[in-house]
């Protein structure tokens, strides 16, 4: 059985990893968007094309943020559930009410 602190550390590491991955996705999207701003184009895009490209990047950015939030929520829910299970088991063991004691 893992200790509560082990579960907490694991949950924290998973959350940190998900956050780093989301930040990396966002950083790359921003870099790509910035690189497009600085590119000199011999045949400029129409306003409609520019809006379409901006919209595509906005959608990608929003999707990355939503995915990060979903992963974070799932991880936090699992963490709290496992933490509560461990706490309940410890309380049962300390109180002498655990099955098989």
In a domain, 87, yes or no: yes
In a domain, 21, yes or no: yes
b/e for 24-43, b at 16 or more Cβ within 10 A?
Answer: ebeeebeeebeeeeeeeeee
In a domain, 50, yes or no: yes
pTM of the model: 0.44
Rounded to 10 deg, the angle between the 4-38 and 47-95 helix axes is 170
Mean pLDDT of the chain: 84
Q: Does residue 23 have a pLDDT over 80?
A: yes
In a domain, 101, yes or no: no
pLDDT tens column, 52-82: 999 999 999 899 999 999 988 998 888 888 8
In a domain, 100, yes or no: no
Q: Are 78 and 12 in contact (CB under 8 A)?
A: no
DSSP 75-95: HHHHHHHHHHHHHHHHHHHHH
Between these two residues, 90 and 56, which has the higher pLDDT value?
56
Residue range(s) defining the domain that contains residue 49: 4-38+45-95
The number of CA neighbours under 13 Å toward the Cβ of 73 is: 6
Number of domain units in the chain: 1
């Amino acid at each position: 059985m893992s200790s509560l602190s082990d579960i907490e550390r694991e949950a924290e590491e998973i959350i940190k990893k998900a956050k780093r991955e989301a930040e990396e996705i966002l950083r790359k999207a921003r870099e790509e968007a910035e690189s497009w701003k600085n590119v000199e184009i011999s045949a400029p895009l129409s306003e409609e094309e520019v809006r379409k490209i901006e919209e595509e990047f906005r959608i990608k950015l929003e999707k990355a943020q939503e995915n990060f939030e979903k992963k974070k929520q799932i991880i936090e829910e699992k963490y709290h559930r496992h933490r509560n299970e461990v706490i309940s088991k410890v309380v049962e063991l300390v109180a002498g009410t655990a099955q098989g004691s």
